[in-house]
Copies of this chain bind each other. A is one copy, B any other.
Amino acid sequence: MDKEYKELQVSSRLLLGPGPSNVHPRVLKAMATPLIGHLDPEFLQIMNETMELLRWLFRTENQLTIPMSGTGSLGMETCFVNTLEEGDSALICVNGVFGQRMVDNAERCGARVDTVTAPWGEPIDTAEVEKALAQKDYKLLAVVHAETSTGVLQPLEELSRMAKDRGTLFLVDTVTSLGGCPLEVDKTGIDICYSGTQKCLSIPPSLAPVTFSEKAAAVIQKRQAKVQSWYQDLSMIASYWGKERVYHHTAPISSIFALREGLRVIYEEGLEARIQRHKTNAAALWAGVEALGLELLVEEKYRAPSLTTVRIPEGIDDPAVRKALLDRHNIEVGGGLGVLKGKVWRVGLMGENSHANSVFLLLSALGSILNGMGFACSTGEALQEAAKIY
């Protein structure tokens, strides 16, 4: 083979899709830190601080709060494979791709799964969950907080209460909400929770923070069968992150350097300020997009500030718009997934990218592209409406 491989060269993208988001320069710098060993005393200190910061971020005192060594979907699987055993019953709320993915995960554990569904773009009706819970004893109730495929933000309090009333474990996917939407693991009574790093945390994808309540940890401890995944077996991984420091697998050291630094950036901003920032910029985006004459998929009350789904107007060429955004403006937005493919764009304002400049740039670029395609809209008006929010 004599092919020449050139130096890595990538364009400077503004990542306004469903993740990854752009990474803070301090986090990129941490990624480039020369390695130390995964059992080095200095690394153990870094692990401890990372766990502390994750607990702070999740708003929990759960001992078992660690980053799993994979992307967000590994976090999902970790939560299911450790909790469910062959024959267990689980009730899963499905109103998008990630609810469906939870079902697939639970079924691969040999669990019997029932679902409560809602149309994509609408929240789960808690009354239906209550009805389902009354009919059967479930080990687990699972729901997605911010559905990345639809932009729906699901209220959690009632669902948590219902689960608690019946002694059912409450599992929540916070991949697209953690660090950008209000989330209170302990106060809300969430037993099991997973997230990713590349959304509202603005850290490169490669780790999946998870947290388990004492109740959930006890369920794991009392399992009959071994966890079907060796790599994700928390009974062993907890010994590496715990006081014993027993070797399990080599931790992704650079990614943990980056996670610690990214959490430090968030810690310095403060969680309340950060969440308010996400709310404000989302409101500006919504105002601007509607002023362009576009419709939003989700009713305002249930809109996730981190991810907005915009209906693609009749007759507008979806891939052509996204290609123009990328090629002309270096802006990435996401296409629709599943039944929403070709019907919506997914616009993320996450972490570093939740900023007035993202909003203004996207509105200007989108307005100009749509106008060029014969869709009449006033970019000036859109920018004006957005600006009013600030």
**Residues in B neighbouring A46, C-beta threshold 8 A:** 8, 10
**Residues in B neighbouring A34, C-beta threshold 8 A:** 10, 12-13, 22-23, 28
- On whether the beta carbons of A230 and B5 are closer than 8 Å, the reply is no
**Residues in B neighbouring A1, C-beta threshold 8 A:** 52, 56
**Residues in B neighbouring A81, C-beta threshold 8 A:** 229
A49 to nearest B CB, angstroms? 6
Minimal Cβ-Cβ distance residue in B for A17: B37
- On whether the beta carbons of B229 and A108 are closer than 8 Å, the reply is yes
A62 CB-CB contact with B under 8 Å = no
**Residues in B neighbouring A35, C-beta threshold 8 A:** 13, 15, 20, 22-23, 198, 204
Minimal Cβ-Cβ distance residue in B for A233: B108
A124 CB-CB contact with B under 8 Å = no
Question: How long is the Cα–Cα vector from A22 to B35 in the complex, in angstroms?
Answer: 6
**Residues in B neighbouring A316, C-beta threshold 8 A:** none
Question: How long is the Cα–Cα vector from A204 to B252 in the complex, in angstroms?
Answer: 7
Question: How long is the Cα–Cα vector from A107 to B226 in the complex, in angstroms?
Answer: 10
With A34-B22, A204-B35, A206-B69 as contacts: A108 and B226 at CB distance below 8 Å:
yes
A377 to nearest B CB, angstroms? 26
**Residues in B neighbouring A361, C-beta threshold 8 A:** none
A232 to nearest B CB, angstroms? 8
- On whether the beta carbons of A205 and B251 are closer than 8 Å, the reply is yes
Complex A-B, nearest 9 residue pairs according to Cβ-Cβ distance, in ascending order: A206-B252, A73-B249, A32-B32, A204-B254, A31-B31, A28-B32, A205-B250, A70-B70, A37-B332
Question: How long is the Cα–Cα vector from A248 to B104 in the complex, in angstroms?
Answer: 13
A221 CB-CB contact with B under 8 Å = no
Known: A8-B257, A22-B35. 13 other contacts (CB 8 A): A10-B46, A11-B42, A20-B38, A28-B33, A40-B326, A70-B74, A73-B249, A74-B249, A101-B230, A108-B227, A198-B250, A204-B252, A206-B255
**Residues in B neighbouring A231, C-beta threshold 8 A:** 70, 73-74, 77
A119 to nearest B CB, angstroms? 22
- On whether the beta carbons of B53 and A250 are closer than 8 Å, the reply is no
With A37-B17, A42-B10, A71-B69 as contacts: A5 and B267 at CB distance below 8 Å:
yes
Question: How long is the Cα–Cα vector from A17 to B249 in the complex, in angstroms?
Answer: 14
Minimal Cβ-Cβ distance residue in B for A21: B35
Tell me which of B15, B196, B206, B255 contacts A37 (CB under 8 A).
Answer: B15
Minimal Cβ-Cβ distance residue in B for A77: B231
Q: Which residues of A104-118 are within 8 A (CB) of B?
A: 104-105, 107-109
Contact indicator per residue, chain A 222-254, by CB within 8 Å of chain B (1) or not (0) = 000011111100000000000000011111111
Minimal Cβ-Cβ distance residue in B for A323: B41
**Residues in B neighbouring A254, C-beta threshold 8 A:** 31, 204-206, 258
Question: How long is the Cα–Cα vector from A205 to B326 in the complex, in angstroms?
Answer: 31
- On whether the beta carbons of A37 and B20 are closer than 8 Å, the reply is yes
A261 CB-CB contact with B under 8 Å = yes
Minimal Cβ-Cβ distance residue in B for A260: B8
- On whether the beta carbons of A52 and B3 are closer than 8 Å, the reply is yes
- On whether the beta carbons of A250 and B11 are closer than 8 Å, the reply is no
A23 to nearest B CB, angstroms? 6
A264 CB-CB contact with B under 8 Å = yes
A19 CB-CB contact with B under 8 Å = yes
A30 CB-CB contact with B under 8 Å = yes
A16 to nearest B CB, angstroms? 10
Question: How long is the Cα–Cα vector from A72 to B337 in the complex, in angstroms?
Answer: 31
A36 CB-CB contact with B under 8 Å = yes
A278 to nearest B CB, angstroms? 19
A29 CB-CB contact with B under 8 Å = yes
- On whether the beta carbons of B196 and A72 are closer than 8 Å, the reply is no
- On whether the beta carbons of A253 and B204 are closer than 8 Å, the reply is yes
